[in-house]
Amino acid sequence: MKQTYTGSCPCQNVHFSLLLPLTLESYQARKCDCDFCMQRNVSYLSDPDGQLDIHSSTPLAKSRQGSEQAVFLSCAHCQTLIAATCPFPTGLKGAINSTLITSQEQLKPAVDVSPKQLNSEEKLRRWRAVWLAVTIN
């Protein structure tokens, strides 16, 4: 039975629901070691069998970093990073900023990762394999 978790940015402009096949205690977020993510103290969570639904009262701010393949979505009001996403032929996939999940303390401690060590094709292959489906409303 899938579990639903929720969260929001600090100003409450952006809310999300996260549908996961396992309980939150089963997951370990990934803490990216790039300057962009480290400055924002971001950890990411995803499951290829999960679903992320993002609701924002204003259009989300979009930016690209590093290889410029991923699109980072932020709250246009408080500038909080919400998710990293990438469009694929099968649809938008991404990973949520796990620090925004209401029950984030249930997660295992985050593990450090270094996507900058991967080439462009390796990044796309990894994201396609581990990121979850994303809808933005």
The CATH number linked to 55 is: 2.170.150.70
Residue 36 pLDDT: 87
Cα-trace Rg, the chain: 14
Residue 64 pLDDT: 92
Per-residue exposure over 94-114, b if at least 16 CB sit within 10 Å of its own CB, e if not = bbbbbbbbeebeebeebeebe
- Give the number of domains in the chain: 1
How does pLDDT run along the chain (137 residues), one tens digit per residue?
889 999 999 999 999 999 999 999 999 999 988 888 889 999 999 999 999 999 999 999 999 987 789 999 999 999 999 999 999 999 999 999 999 999 999 999 999 998 888 888 999 999 999 999 999 99
Residue 1 pLDDT: 81
pTM of the model: 0.93
Helix%, strand%, coil% for the chain, nearest 5 = 20, 45, 35
Residue written as token pair 């996939």: 93
Residue 94 lies in domain: 3-136
Q: How far apart are CA 92 and CA 64, in angstroms?
A: 15
